[in-house]
Structure formats: structure tokens, C-alpha cells
């Protein structure tokens, strides 16, 4: 598989300072091209662990519009927890080792087919659950991810959607009986 | 104005819970001059407190007390500690409800007669007919302000509805429209019109959606006959030597136990807490719990056959803009056994925001992979519907006390056991097929058949029955065993019907208030 890492260096640099504390080496399925911005921040886990976590998150929820710096949201969040709690850190290290073992080498260097088999065999495993949980609860609860996927978040401050495209989808307009005009019309 | 009653005042009617059932009953009784104390476990929130944020809103108001699950239903695997999505707050689950307000069909009040004997199903006719319910449905629709009733226009359909409607037309469905909704399509009853915010499940900040918390409760307070006590969690209903109810014990906001005396007690804690409370109130006189001489308390738990179909369309939809539930196809709600199952189902548009979509599209450990990634990555191209169908009551589907686990008050937690009935499985399969066809007809590239969420429609655990041996309460919700004990929420449902339950819960509460007022005037209770 050829991994499309369409992260613009500038957008990455802007965000990296805030989001990431460690160096992920270029190459393989994960290619991040900047190190300096990260080096400044303290991090609990090493590059290999971080890189594997990033790829696991990405393999779980691959999306063309999701860039690697977005997937770092989940990695970073777990890193933050690992900094505060040694047991989180050791669980992450252990989990990555299990994934590597199941991949018969390094997870990050395995083929996509192999990696999907590893994921399947790991369903319910601790590290699997941690990564999936972080993706669901942190990654998909992040505004930068919403922006990319097209969920617009809070609407009340903007006055709702009644004047902002709640009927703009390109499908035929239903009959007026089925869908009457709005109170403002 | 808001009143205060003494703990020793034994003339008051105590209502437990302030949601669809309890909030409505409280107000209806107070309007008739009856003194009411409503005890609500949750806090009081105003529309200003609601937040347009899925997880934050859920954590703010959902009922998160410890619960356990068992049985083969998938919810027990995917959400073992969260069998249901219920709200703990003034207004109860009407804070988060979507507003769909449909009457039951005539045959759905007499399914035993209509469907016959179905193996494994504990079917029973309601002791009440559609005809008897009609005047109360009418009052409830007026109270809630249901669109397409009482001259109230339907709501304008949003993007999600446009897709559904297009599919419905191409499938040849005849009855597809923006539904009968408890949402103001124009200002009414002192509340705003809908701004199409799309956060109906998080509490409607514009107040356009009916919720007992900001309609029934303040109206009751205005009568001067009503006191609401918040963070008052009832843990026991007590009785006197003759077996009549004489009060309740609750834990107040400081963790202290209080005893409120009562002339009558009406229980409306939603269909898990209501039977739990009856079971927890056992004494030497009622060793199996209150109103349980027939052994029916907690049994026949129903949750509607639910499922969702989410489609990835070929063009942007932006389904999240506008009402969460924006329209309906009713064509499949008929009883037509030639489809291989009895009963029917409704198809209603449903939208979740990206945070909830990630959690619910495919819940549990299998919820990942390229297809799921593609859907979430293209969230703006998604459309979705929820399927609500009649599920079969089964004795073995039940709420029991799990005595090995305790809640924050040291009380045994409820366990919710559920297995799908064969009829449920057949209906779900049929509904998945039709839902998929609708979206394929409208241009879907791919679909997900999404399994049930934690139950939002919890029904039937203290059911009404003509004969005492078949249920827990009579056609007025009055306990078969104890004359001054009432069941006032969805747990009264004899069977579930295909329609969303709240309009029926509210109608029954209005009807029950009439009955209670009459009996009180006669001095029989
Ligand atoms: C997300 C969502 C969407 C929904 N959409 C729809 C819809 O479109 N149409 C529809 O018809 N229905 C819908 N429903 C269902 C609807 O909300 C419920 O059917 C209805 O609110 C149930 O009424 P109830 O009185 O039984 O319980 P609730 O409204 O849940 O009220 C019960 C109240 O009792 C309180 N309580 C419980 N135990 C105790 C105790 N021991 N002491 C004190 N207080 C207690 C609770 O805190 C709660 O406030 C939806 C529900 C949810 C969660
Ligand atoms: S869409 Fe309408 S009903 Fe729903 S939250 Fe918004 S204003 Fe309220």
C-alpha cells in the first residue's frame, strides 16, 4: 500500500507545537517530516511506540481527508495520560510490543493486509481497546477533525441552520404537503 | 407560586419522577386543585444550561447510576453498563427526546386478538381501546403542540429528509412527510419556533421542542398546589399496617434520608427505575415487592425493535443541519404477516453528530475498519434513518435487582435482561433491507446496518392488564394490589406498538389525573 500523507508542512508546523511532543521518524506507512517543533515538548513514549500508535489509529479509521497530524491528536492525548501515569505508559509499550509480535516484526513495516489481520486478532485486547477508545472519544470529538469531515458542531450561537443551508442538499424538493414552508417564509 | 409542603403532610399526592409521565401527571393534578409533591432524582436545568456538544450534554444529564445487563441482545456486549439512554433531570427523558408524537394504531391495543398466539411471546390485549384513548390523545397533542394536529403546520424538511423522501418516492411509498412532531413549527404556548439547530438530543436551547421540564413543571408551580424537590432520589415506598401506601423515603441532595408522607403515590421513574423501586420496597407484608402478587413486576420489558441505516451518498447531504428527526415513512407500520412477522415498524430520519456517529455507527470492538473510516471521513455525505418497530413482550425479558452490586445510595442496582424474539429478528432483517433500498434508490454508494443503541424507549415492566394475574396495574394505572399506588409512565404499556411512546405516556397521564381526581373527590383514595 502506498500511504498518502498529505500533510502540509506549514499547517503541521502550526499545530505541532501544541499537539505533539515526540519525534516520529519519517518512512514507512507514517511519514512526518518535521521534528524540531516536537522536540521541545516532553513526552512519555518513544518514537517507535508513537509511530505504531499513529498507524494503528489510522488503520482503524482510515480517511482520505484525515491527515497524519490529525491522527496525532489521539497519540498525543494518550501520551499526555502516560506522562501522568506510569501504568498507562507501560500498557502502551506492552501493547505495541504485542502488535509487533503479531505482525512478525514491526507493525509499522507490515503490509496493510497483515496489519488488518493483526487488528482482527487483537479485537478486545487492552491496547486495541485503548486505541479505539481514544480514536472514538478524543479524535472524533476534536473540532479540527469535525472541520475536515464536515460536521459543523455547535449551531445555537450561529442562529441554527434555518437560514444556513438546512435544505441545500442537491435532491429534489419534496412536495409542499410533505414538507411545508418554514415560519420565516 | 411554588409552594412548600411539610414532610408530615399526609394529604399530598407524591409523584416520583418529573418526565413525560410524572411531569404531566403533576401538572394535571395541580391544575385540578390537588396538592402535589414531585420528587425528582436529577437537577433542574434551563434552556440556557443546555450545550450544543454531544458528550458534554450526555454527561450533564444522562442517568449514569450503575446498572448491569444480561442476555443475548447486543447492547449487553456493546454497552454493558448502559442498557438505556434515559435522562436524570427535571423533565426526564423529554429533555433529550426527538419529539416524534404518533398515536398507536387501533389493532395495536389488541395484539393478542390480532396476532394470535406467538410462541415465546407473552402477548396481551390492552384493557383500553384506541376509541377510549382518542380524547386523551387529542388533549396530549394540544398540550405538546404536535405538528399536523390542531391546525399546527408540519415542519419544513431538512437535507436528511430530502434524501429519505426521494428514496421513498422511488420505492413507491405513499406516506412520507415531516412527521407529527412535538416541536413548534411556529411560536406557540409561549415557546419559540424551531431554528433547525440539530441538537434536539442535547436539550433544545430555543425551547421549540416540548419538554416536561419547562412546560408542565412551571405550569404546575403557577397553580400554588405544587412543590418540586430536585435531587430527591426515592429509595423506598412505604405502607401502613393495613397495607395502604403512606409515604416514601428519599435521599436528598446532602445525602440525608427524608420521609415524605402521602395520600397516594404515583411512580414515573421510567421503565427500569419504576419496577426497581417497587421491588426494593419489599416488606414482610409484601415479600416480593409492592404490587407484585402476580409476580409480574419487572417482567415483559420492551425496548422497541430498533436499528438504524446510515448511507454514504454520492453528493454532500449535511444531514446534521436541522431537526434530528425530520421525517417519517409510515408504510411499513401496518400488521402484515405475509412479510414473515407480526407487527410493523416506522422509518424515521435520524442524524447523529460526528462524535456520536463514531461511537454508535458500529459500536463495540468490531467498530473500526476501512468502511467505517470512509463513512466518518465523508460525514457530510451521510444520510440516516432510525427504525422503530413493535417488539414482542417476553416474560424472561425483565428488570431484576442485582443484589451483588450497589449504587451510590447503597441500594441494589437494576439488572436489565433482554433477548430478541424471533419475530424481532425477522422484522429487523426486513427493515434493514427496506431501509437500504430507500437509500440505494436515492443514490447511496454504500450503507451500514447499525445495531441498536442503548434503549431510549423503555416499556412494559409494570404492565396494565384486565385481569390482576396478568399484570401489575389496571386500565387507570392503579396497582391491582394497592388502591393508592399508581404507575404513571411507560412501564404501564401492555405492548409496545410500532410508534414512539411518549404521546401515549402523556395521554395516559392526563387520563390518570382525571381518574385520581374523581376517586379523591369520592373519597375512595
Ligand atoms: C435521545 C432520545 C430520543 C427520544 N426520542 C423520542 C421521540 O422522538 N418520540 C418519543 O415518543 N419518545 C422519544 N424518546 C423517549 C422518551 O423520552 C421517553 O419515552 C419518555 O420520556 C419516558 O417518560 P417517563 O415518564 O417514563 O420517563 P422519563 O421521561 O425518563 O422520566 C423519568 C424521571 O424520573 C426520575 N427518576 C427515576 N427514578 C427516580 C427515583 N427513584 N426518585 C426520583 N426520581 C426518579 C428520572 O430522573 C427522570 O427525570 C426519546 C428518548 C431519548 C433518550
Ligand atoms: S432543531 Fe428545532 S427542536 Fe431541535 S434543538 Fe433545534 S430548535 Fe430545538
- Which residues are within 8 A (CB) of B201 and not within 5 positions of it... i.e. 6 or more apart? B54, B57, B96, B98, B324, B352
Separation CA B66–CA B71 (nearest Å): 18
CA of B138 from ligand 1 middle (Å) equals: 21
pLDDT score of A29:
57
Q: CA of B81: how far to CAs of A48, A136, B85, B247, in Å?
A: 35, 18, 11, 31
Most B CBs within 10 A among A129, A166, A183, hence the mutation to make, goes to A166
Percent of chain A with pLDDT over 90: 70
If one counts every other C-beta atom within 10 angstroms of the C-beta of residue B16, the result is 28
pLDDT score of A30:
59
Most B CBs within 10 A among A62, A151, A153, A154, hence the mutation to make, goes to A151
CA of B240 from ligand 1 middle (Å) equals: 30
pLDDT digits (tens, 9 = 90+) for B31-54: 999 999 999 999 999 999 999 999
Of B425, B381, B411, B481, nearest to B65 (Cα)?
B411
Does residue A9 carry a pLDDT above 90?
Answer: no
pLDDT digits (tens, 9 = 90+) for B176-212: 999 999 999 999 999 999 999 999 999 999 999 999 9
Does residue A24 carry a pLDDT above 70?
Answer: no
pLDDT score of B336:
98
Residue reference for cell 422509518:
B347
Residue B427 burial by Cβ neighbours in a 10 Å radius (0-12, 13-18, 19+): buried
Q: What mean pLDDT comes out for the span B292-302?
A: 98
CA-B192 nearest atom, ligand 2: 7
Question: Residue A35's pLDDT band (boundaries 50, 70, 90)?
Answer: very low
The rounded Cα B285 to chain-centroid distance in angstroms is 32
Contact B165 A178 (CB under 8 A): yes
Percent of chain B with pLDDT over 90: 100
Does residue A163 carry a pLDDT above 50?
Answer: yes
Q: What mean pLDDT comes out for the span A45-53?
A: 93
DSSP-derived secondary structure letter, B130: H
Does residue B326 carry a pLDDT above 70?
Answer: yes
pLDDT score of A7:
35
Does residue A21 carry a pLDDT above 90?
Answer: no
Alpha-carbon dihedral of residues B91, B93, B95, B96, nearest 10 degrees? 180
Strands (E), B44-134: 68-70
Across-strand partners of A147?
Answer: none
C-alpha cell at B178: 415531516
Of A57, A49, A67, nearest to A106 (Cα)?
A49
Residue ranges covered by each domain of chain A: 16-24+34-168
Does residue A31 carry a pLDDT above 60?
Answer: no
The more confident residue out of B211 and A159 is B211
**Mean pLDDT for all residues in chain A:** 83
A4 touches chain B (CB under 8 A): no
Pocket of ligand 1 (CB under 6 A): B 16-22, 39-42, 85-89, 92-94, 96-100, 201, 233-234, 268-270, 273, 277, 325, 456-457, 489-490, 500-502, 505
pLDDT score of A57:
97
What DSSP assignment string belongs to B360-391?
Answer: HSS-STT--SHHHHHHHHTGGGEEEEEEEEPP
Question: Residue B495's pLDDT band (boundaries 50, 70, 90)?
Answer: very high
Q: What mean pLDDT comes out for the span B351-368?
A: 96
B237 touches chain A (CB under 8 A): no
Q: A165: nearest CA in chain B?
A: B321
Does residue A107 carry a pLDDT above 50?
Answer: yes
User: Which is it for strands B176-177 and B328-329: parallel, antiparallel or unpaired?
Assistant: antiparallel
Give the helix/strand (H/E) hosting B290. none
pLDDT score of B146:
98
Does residue A34 carry a pLDDT above 50?
Answer: no
Q: What mean pLDDT comes out for the span B321-342?
A: 98
Of A41, A64, A77, A62, nearest to B368 (Cα)?
A62
Does residue A8 carry a pLDDT above 80?
Answer: no
Does residue B2 carry a pLDDT above 80?
Answer: no
Question: Which ligand is in closest contact with the Cα of B204?
Answer: 2
pLDDT score of A159:
86
Of B114, B161, B120, B1, nearest to B393 (Cα)?
B120
Question: Residue A41's pLDDT band (boundaries 50, 70, 90)?
Answer: low
Percent of chain B with pLDDT over 70: 100
- Residue B329, helix vs strand vs coil: strand
User: Which is it for strands B345-349 and B226-229: parallel, antiparallel or unpaired?
Assistant: unpaired
Alpha-carbon dihedral of residues B472, B475, B478, B481, nearest 10 degrees? -50
Separation CA B375–CA A61 (nearest Å): 9
Q: CA of A62: how far to CAs of A54, B28, B75, in Å?
A: 11, 54, 26
Does residue B227 carry a pLDDT above 90?
Answer: yes
Q: What mean pLDDT comes out for the span B378-389?
A: 98
Separation CA A92–CA A52 (nearest Å): 10
pLDDT score of B110:
98
pLDDT score of A157:
86
pLDDT digits (tens, 9 = 90+) for A111-140: 999 999 999 999 999 999 999 999 999 999
Separation CA B83–CA B57 (nearest Å): 18
Answer whether B204 contacts ligand 2 (Cβ < 6 A). yes
Sheet with B13-16, strands from edge to edge, namely B226-229, B36-39, B13-16, B264-267, B485-487
B59 touches chain A (CB under 8 A): no
CA of A118 from ligand 2 middle (Å) equals: 44
Does residue A28 carry a pLDDT above 80?
Answer: no
Nearest residue (CA) to ligand 1, atom 38:
B269
pLDDT score of B1:
62
**Mean pLDDT for all residues in chain B:** 97
Q: What mean pLDDT comes out for the span B81-100?
A: 97
Does residue A13 carry a pLDDT above 70?
Answer: no
Does residue A180 carry a pLDDT above 90?
Answer: yes
Nearest residue (CA) to ligand 2, atom 8:
B204
Q: Spell A54-73 as b/e; 16+ CB within 10 A means b.
A: bbbbbbbbbbebbbbbbbbb
pLDDT digits (tens, 9 = 90+) for B7-27: 999 999 999 999 999 999 999
Q: What mean pLDDT comes out for the span B465-475?
A: 98
pLDDT score of A97:
98
A123 touches chain B (CB under 8 A): yes
Amino acid at each position: 500500500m502506498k500511504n498518502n500523507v498529505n500533510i502540509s508542512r506549514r499547517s503541521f508546523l502550526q499545530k505541532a507545537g501544541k499537539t505533539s511532543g515526540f519525534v516520529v521518524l519519517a518512512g514507512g506507512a507514517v511519514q512526518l517530516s518535521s521534528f524540531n517543533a516536537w522536540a521541545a515538548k516532553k513526552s512519555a513514549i518513544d518514537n517507535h511506540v508513537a509511530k505504531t500508535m499513529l498507524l494503528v489509529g489510522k488503520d482503524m479509521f482510515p480517511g482520505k481527508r484525515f491527515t497524519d497530524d490529525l491522527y496525532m491528536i489521539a497519540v498525543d492525548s494518550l501520551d499526555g495520560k502516560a506522562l501522568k501515569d506510569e501504568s498507562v505508559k507501560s500498557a502502551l509499550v506492552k501493547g505495541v510490543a504485542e502488535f509487533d509480535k503479531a505482525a512478525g516484526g514491526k507493525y509499522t513495516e507490515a503490509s496493510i493486509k497483515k496489519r488488518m489481520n493483526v487488528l482482527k486478532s487483537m479485537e478486545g485486547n487492552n491496547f486495541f481497546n485503548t486505541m479505539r477508545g481514544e480514536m472514538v472519544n478524543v479524535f472524533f470529538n476534536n473540532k479540527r477533525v469535525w472541520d475536515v469531515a464536515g460536521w459543523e458542531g455547535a449551531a445555537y450561537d450561529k442562529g441554527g441552520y434555518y437560514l444556513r443551508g438546512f435544505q441545500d442538499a442537491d435532491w429534489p424538493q419534496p412536495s409542499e404537503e410533505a414538507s411545508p414552508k418554514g415560519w420565516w417564509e | 407560586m411554588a409552594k412548600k409542603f411539610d414532610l408530615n403532610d399526609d394529604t399530598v399526592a407524591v409523584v416520583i419522577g418529573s418526565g413525560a409521565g410524572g411531569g404531566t401527571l403533576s401538572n394535571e393534578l395541580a391544575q385540578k386543585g390537588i396538592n402535589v409533591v414531585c420528587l425528582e432524582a436529577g437537577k433542574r436545568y434551563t434552556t440556557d444550561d443546555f450545550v450544543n456538544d454531544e458528550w458534554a450534554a450526555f454527561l450533564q444529564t444522562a442517568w449514569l447510576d450503575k446498572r448491569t445487563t444480561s442476555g443475548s441482545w447486543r447492547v449487553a456486549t456493546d454497552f454493558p453498563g448502559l442498557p438505556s439512554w434515559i435522562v436524570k433531570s427535571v423533565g426526564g427523558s423529554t429533555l433529550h427526546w426527538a419529539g416524534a408524537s404518533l398515536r398507536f394504531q387501533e389493532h395495536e391495543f389488541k395484539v393478542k386478538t390480532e396476532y394470535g398466539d406467538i410462541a415465546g411471546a407473552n402477548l396481551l390485549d390492552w384493557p383500553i381501546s384506541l376509541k377510549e384513548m382518542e380524547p386523551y390523545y387529542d388533549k396530549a397533542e394540544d398540550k405538546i403542540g404536535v405538528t399536523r394536529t390542531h391546525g399546527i403546520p408540519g415542519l419544513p424538511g431538512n437535507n436528511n429528509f430530502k434524501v429519505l423522501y426521494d428514496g421513498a418516492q422511488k420505492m413507491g411509498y405513499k406516506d412520507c412527510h415531516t412527521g407529527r412532531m412535538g416541536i413548534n413549527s411556529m411560536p406557540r404556548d409561549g415557546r419559540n419556533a424551531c431554528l433547525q439547530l440539530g441538537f434536539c438530543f442535547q436539550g433544545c436551547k430555543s425551547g421549540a421542542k416540548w419538554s416536561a421540564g419547562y412546560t408542565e413543571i412551571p405550569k404546575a408551580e403557577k397553580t400554588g398546589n405544587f412543590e418540586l424537590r430536585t435531587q430527591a432520589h426515592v429509595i423506598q415506598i412505604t405502607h401502613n399496617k393495613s397495607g395502604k401506601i403512606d409515604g416514601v423515603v428519599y435521599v436528598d441532595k446532602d445525602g440525608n434520608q427524608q420521609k415524605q408522607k402521602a395520600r397516594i403515590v404515583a411512580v414515573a421513574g421510567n421503565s427500569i427505575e419504576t419496577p426497581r423501586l417497587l421491588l426494593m420496597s419489599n416488606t414482610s407484608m409484601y415479600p416480593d415487592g409492592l404490587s407484585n402478587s402476580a409476580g409480574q413486576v419487572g417482567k415483559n420489558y420492551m425496548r422497541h425493535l430498533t436499528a438504524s441505516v446510515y448511507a454514504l451518498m454520492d453528493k454532500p447531504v449535511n444531514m446534521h443541519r436541522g431537526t434530528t428527526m425530520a421525517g417519517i415513512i409510515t408504510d411499513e407500520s401496518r400488521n402484515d404477516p405475509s412479510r414473515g412477522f407480526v407487527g410493523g415498524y416506522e422509518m424515521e430520519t435520524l442524524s447523529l453528530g460526528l462524535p456520536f456517529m463514531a461511537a454508535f455507527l458500529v459500536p463495540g470492538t468490531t467498530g473500526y475498519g476501512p468502511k467505517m473510516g470512509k463513512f466518518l471521513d465523508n460525514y457530510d455525505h451521510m444520510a440516516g434513518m432510525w427504525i422503530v418497530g413493535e417488539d414482542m413482550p417476553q416474560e424472561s425479558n425483565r428488570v431484576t435487582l442485582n443484589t451483588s452490586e450497589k449504587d451510590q445510595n447503597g441500594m441494589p442496582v437494576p439488572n436489565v435482561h433482554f433477548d430478541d424474539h424471533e419475530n424481532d429478528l425477522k422484522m429487523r432483517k426486513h427493515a434493514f433491507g427496506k431501509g437500504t433500498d430507500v437509500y440505494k434508490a436515492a443514490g447511496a454508494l454504500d450503507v451500514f446496518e447499525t445495531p441498536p443503541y442503548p434503549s431510549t424507549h423503555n416499556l412494559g415492566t409494570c404492565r396494565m392488564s384486565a385481569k390482576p394475574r396478568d399484570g401489575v396495574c389496571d386500565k387507570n394505572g392503579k396497582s391491582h394490589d394497592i388502591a393508592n399506588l399508581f404507575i404513571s409512565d411507560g412501564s404501564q404499556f401492555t405492548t409496545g406498538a410500532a410508534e414512539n411512546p411518549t404521546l401515549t405516556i402523556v395521554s395516559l397521564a392526563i387520563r390518570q389525573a382525571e381518574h385520581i381526581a374523581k376517586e379523591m373527590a369520592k373519597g375512595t383514595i
